[in-house]
């Protein structure tokens, strides 16, 4: 019997009522895993109306009680950690180790949501004028929406709904239609933790369902992670509806390798950063910028990449899993062909990769290009596959110019033994997240995920303190409580407090 992935609306698990549906497929085998009926227009309306109704009571729940819900949830997530990772590995194709990391990084954000009483504290100043005090409070917005991608089925939903709900909002999650099984289990565990009916809703679908959520008058804020074209569409449409929007989008991340860096450290870090998760990370290192003589390490790096092989998630020797779909594989292979046609030096070609026992998987081996120039498609476009572009510059000045001329600004790193070079790089590079001798500088959740330029659309970033600001409004109160009933001697005809 085919497994049906349901919606979660007003505390009930029901199949979507749209005539459209999607087959959920194991990317390593093409085996059918489940069927995903899309949500109908009426389903979306019920979810929004239910969330708005639940908001009226949820916003009044004391903040410590909301924190206790998050404490119970993080306990359940930890208890079911390996189970979630196994579902995620089937859903997405990641190796089991990588899937466990995906789940754990999400749990870390839930742990931060447990600290919501401190994060919601306002400010107070006594006696701003005679017998006058001013203080600020933070209050929730209302119905919030999260639209999440296929590449982190646990972490990115957990970036969104726990903090939004801890702030006092209600939330509608629209997970990627390619990997809904992980999101379903996250929702089930949140319900088990004690989430009241209507506070968290989940709907399914594609562009039509997303547009319905964007256009609905009752939705107040939208969080999105995904590609640049989709992010731009969501940002423009959401802002046109006068909503609060944050969109984390594409990337082209550079690792700058100084000749004084430790060679083995560079190579070992670059291996996983370039091809881990099959390169399907918005923080993957897709461009290695060798400064001066450091280019001599490229051959050794290429040979070590040659030894890394993808495989099924149950294979403990697999370096990474398949690409998410045949279409994704075809797109990456087309970009590799474009790199060859434009004159890049293909040092390692992963297009003929095969994995024994899994002939139908979306496999692509590690791929390395040298002599890449900035006008080539493989440099200009986000490849989202296990493909590394190697470039050479003469000095740090040229490295900075190269990185700063990129339209993307998600993440970058520099490997060096020079504190002066590292300090200059972190100060002058026009990228939101910088690693120093760390290849993928994704911050822990007490900071925020801070991509720049074309990698981010909005004003307030994901998780951390900025997410709390995104999901709340600040209200400022100025109050006077005179000690007696005496009125002032004369009317105050100015705006000054007296």
Confidence of residue 454 (pLDDT cuts 50, 70, 90): very high
Q: What is the DSSP string of 307-370?
A: T--B--TT-TT-SB---S-HHHHHHHHHHHHHHHHTT-EEEE--TT---TT-TTS-----EEEE
Q: Confidence class of residue 492 from pLDDT cuts 50, 70 and 90? A: confident
Residues 6 or more apart whose CB falls under 8 angstroms from that of 477 comprise 134, 135, 136, 137
Contact 391, 347 (CB under 8 A): no
| Token representation of residue 90 | 């089937």
- Encode pLDDT of 429-438 as tens digits: 999 999 999 9
pLDDT at 64: 97
Its pTM stands at 0.95
In this predicted model, what pLDDT tens digit does every residue of 190-239 receive, in sequence order?
999 999 999 999 999 999 999 999 999 999 999 999 999 999 999 999 99
Q: Considering the chain, tell me which residue range(s) the CATH 3.40.309.10 domain(s) occupy.
A: 253-436
Is 282 known to be catalytic? yes
Helices (H), 193-311: 207-215, 228-240, 263-275, 298-306
Query: Residues 30-82: pLDDT tens digits?
Result: 999 999 999 999 999 999 999 999 999 999 999 999 999 999 999 999 999 99
**Residue 486 clears pLDDT 60, i.e. is over it:** no
Q: Residue 384 and residue 212: Cα distance in Å, rounded? A: 28
Pull the structure tokens for residue 73: 């949830």
Does residue 496 have a pLDDT over 90? no
Measured N-to-C along each axis, helices 207-215 and 228-240 cross at an angle, to the nearest 10 degrees, of 30
The owner of tokens 């002032």 is: 488
* Percent of the chain predicted with pLDDT > 70: 98
β-sheet bridge partners, residue 433: 411
Which one, of 171, 220, 222, lies nearest residue 198 by Cα? 171
**pLDDT higher than threshold 70 for residue 487:** no
Q: Which of 144, 167, 282, 389 is labelled catalytic?
A: 282
Euclidean distance between CA atoms 404 and 423, whole angstroms: 16
Sequence-distant (6+) residues with CB within 8 A of 285 are 253, 254, 255, 270, 273, 274, 388, 413, 439, 440
Which helix or strand (DSSP H or E) is residue 468 part of?
helix 464-470
Find the mean pLDDT for residues 155-160.
Answer: 98
What residue ranges of the chain are covered by domains with CATH 3.40.605.10? Answer: 7-249+455-477
Is it the case that residue 347 has pLDDT exceeding 90?
yes
| The pLDDT of residue 485 is above 90 | no
Q: What is each CA distance from 136 to 107, 124, 473, 495, in whole angstroms?
A: 30, 7, 10, 20
In this prediction, residue 489 carries a pLDDT of: 64
Name, in order, each residue with C-beta under 8 angstroms of 128's C-beta and a sequence gap of 6 or more.
134, 478, 497
Confidence bin at 254 (pLDDT 50/70/90): very high
Q: What are phi and psi of 140, to 5 degrees?
A: -70, 165
- pLDDT band at 143; cut points 50, 70, 90: very high
Burial of 341 (0-12, 13-18, 19+ CB in 10 A): exposed
Residues 188 and 361: their CA atoms lie apart, in Å, by 30
Position 493 scores a pLDDT of 77
Cα–chain-centroid distance for residue 17?
29
- pLDDT at residue 488 above 70? no
For the domain spanning 7-249+455-477, the CATH number is: 3.40.605.10
Work out the widest C-alpha separation in the chain, in whole angstroms: 92
* Residue listed under structure tokens 């900075």: 400
Looking at every residue in the chain, the average pLDDT score rounds to: 96
Average pLDDT in the 85-97 region? 96
Which DSSP symbol is given to 178?
Answer: T
Element (H, E) at 8: strand 7-9
Report domain 253-436's class.
alpha beta
Q: How far apart are CA 46 and CA 311, in angstroms?
A: 42
Predicted pLDDT of residue 299: 97
367-402: per-residue pLDDT in tens? 999 999 999 999 999 999 999 999 999 999 999 999
**Interatomic CA distance for residues 278 and 364, integer angstroms:** 8
Tell me the per-residue pLDDT of 277-305, one tens digit each, with 9 for 90 and over.
Answer: 999 999 999 999 999 999 999 999 999 99
Neighbours of 123 (CB within 10 A): 10
């Amino acid at each position: 019997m085919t497994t049906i992935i349901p919606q979660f609306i007003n505390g009930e698990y029901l199949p979507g009522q749209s005539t459209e549906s999607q087959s959920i497929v194991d990317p390593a085998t093409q085996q059918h895993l489940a069927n995903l009926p899309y949500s109908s227009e009426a389903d979306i309306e019920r979810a929004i109306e239910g969330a708005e109704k639940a908001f009226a009571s949820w916003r009044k729940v004391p903040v410590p009680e909301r924190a206790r819900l998050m404490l119970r949830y993080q306990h359940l997530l930890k208890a079911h950690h390996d189970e979630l990772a196994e579902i995620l590995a089937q859903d997405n194709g990641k190796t089991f180790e990588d899937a466990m990391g995906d789940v754990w990084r999400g749990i870390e954000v839930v742990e931060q949501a447990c600290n919501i009483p401190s994060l919601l504290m306002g400010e107070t100043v006594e006696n701003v004028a005679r017998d006058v005090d001013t203080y600020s409070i933070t209050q929730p917005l209302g119905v919030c929406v999260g639209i999440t991608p296929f590449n982190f089925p646990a972490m990115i939903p957990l970036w969104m709904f726990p903090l939004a709900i801890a702030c006092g909002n209600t939330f509608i999650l629209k997970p990627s239609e390619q990997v809904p099984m992980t999101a379903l289990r996250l929702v089930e565990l949140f319900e088990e933790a004690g989430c009241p009916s209507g506070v968290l809703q989940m709907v399914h679908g594609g562009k039509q369902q997303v547009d319905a959520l964007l256009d609905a008058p009752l939705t107040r804020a939208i969080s999105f992670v995904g590609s640049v074209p989709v992010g731009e569409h969501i940002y423009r449409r959401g802002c046109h509806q006068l909503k609060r929007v944050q969109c984390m989008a594409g990337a082209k991340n550079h690792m700058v390798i100084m000749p004084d860096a430790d060679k083995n450290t560079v190579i070992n870090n670059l291996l996983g950063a370039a091809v881990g998760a099959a390169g399907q990370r918005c923080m993957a290192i897709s461009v290695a910028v060798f400064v001066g003589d450091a280019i001599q390490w490229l051959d050794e790096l290429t040979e070590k990449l040659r030894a890394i092989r993808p495989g099924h998630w149950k294979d403990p020797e697999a370096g990474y899993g398949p690409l998410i779909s045949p279409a994704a594989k075809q797109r990456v292979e087309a970009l590799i062909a474009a790199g060859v046609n434009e004159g890049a030096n293909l040092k390692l070609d992963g297009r003929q990769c095969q994995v024994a026992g899994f002939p139908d998987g979306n496999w692509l081996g590690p791929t390395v290009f040298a002599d890449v120039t900035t006008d080539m498609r493989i440099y200009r476009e986000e490849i989202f596959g296990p493909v590394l572009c190697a470039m050479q510059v003469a000095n740090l000045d040229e490295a900075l110019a190269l990185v700063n001329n990129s339209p993307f600004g998600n993440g970058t790193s520099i490997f060096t033994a020079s504190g002066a070079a590292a300090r200059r790089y972190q100060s002058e590079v026009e990228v939101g997240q910088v690693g120093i001798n760390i290849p993928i500088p994704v911050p822990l959740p007490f900071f925020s995920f801070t991509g720049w330029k074309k990698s981010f659309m909005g004003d307030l970033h994901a998780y951390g303190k900025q997410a709390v600001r995104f999901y709340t409004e600040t209200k400022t109160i100025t109050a006077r409580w005179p000690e007696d009933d005496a009125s002032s001697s004369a009317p105050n005809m100015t705006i000054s407090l007296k």
